[in-house]
Amino acid sequence: MVNPLFIKQLPGRKSDIRDAHWIGLVLMKGLVSGSYVPDQQVQSLRQYERRYSYLNKRIIHVEQCIDMQLQRCNIRFSNYLSDIGSQAMRKVVKGIANLR
């Protein structure tokens, strides 16, 4: 794989099969440097980190949705609790859910 930054700087078009062949030859001759491809362990670690970040964002989004639904019902706990995702808020939401 060739670093796209270096390919962008090369003159000419880079869209057809002949250009791809030419880019491959340029890479083999060492005129452009290849892209950094991390090993499998680093790739899997990055994948876990992306998933962890996504799940954290999703948790925050769901907590905000719960708070918005409670505010629509005129229940405003966010004025009294500093953290929407705190243990106290979860107990209150479970208590409200058990009343139904």
Where in the sequence is the domain holding 52, given as residue range(s)?
Answer: 45-99
Distances (CA, A) of 10 to 15, 25, 31, 74, 86: 13, 13, 11, 62, 55
Query: Would you say 10 and 32 are in contact if contact means Cβ atoms under 8 Å apart?
Result: yes
> Do 52 and 19 belong to one domain?
no
Distances (CA, A) of 29 to 25, 36, 61, 66, 94: 6, 18, 50, 59, 66
Number of domains in the chain: 2
> Do 49 and 91 belong to one domain?
yes
pTM of the predicted model over 0.85: no
> Do 32 and 49 belong to one domain?
no
> Do 52 and 18 belong to one domain?
no
Nearest-CA neighbor of 12 among 2, 1, 22?
22
- Residues 70, 76, 77, 82, CA torsion sign: positive
> Do 30 and 49 belong to one domain?
no
18-45 residue pLDDT tens: 778 888 888 888 877 778 889 999 999 9
> Do 26 and 49 belong to one domain?
no
> Do 13 and 53 belong to one domain?
no
> Do 55 and 87 belong to one domain?
yes
52-66 residue pLDDT tens: 999 999 999 999 998
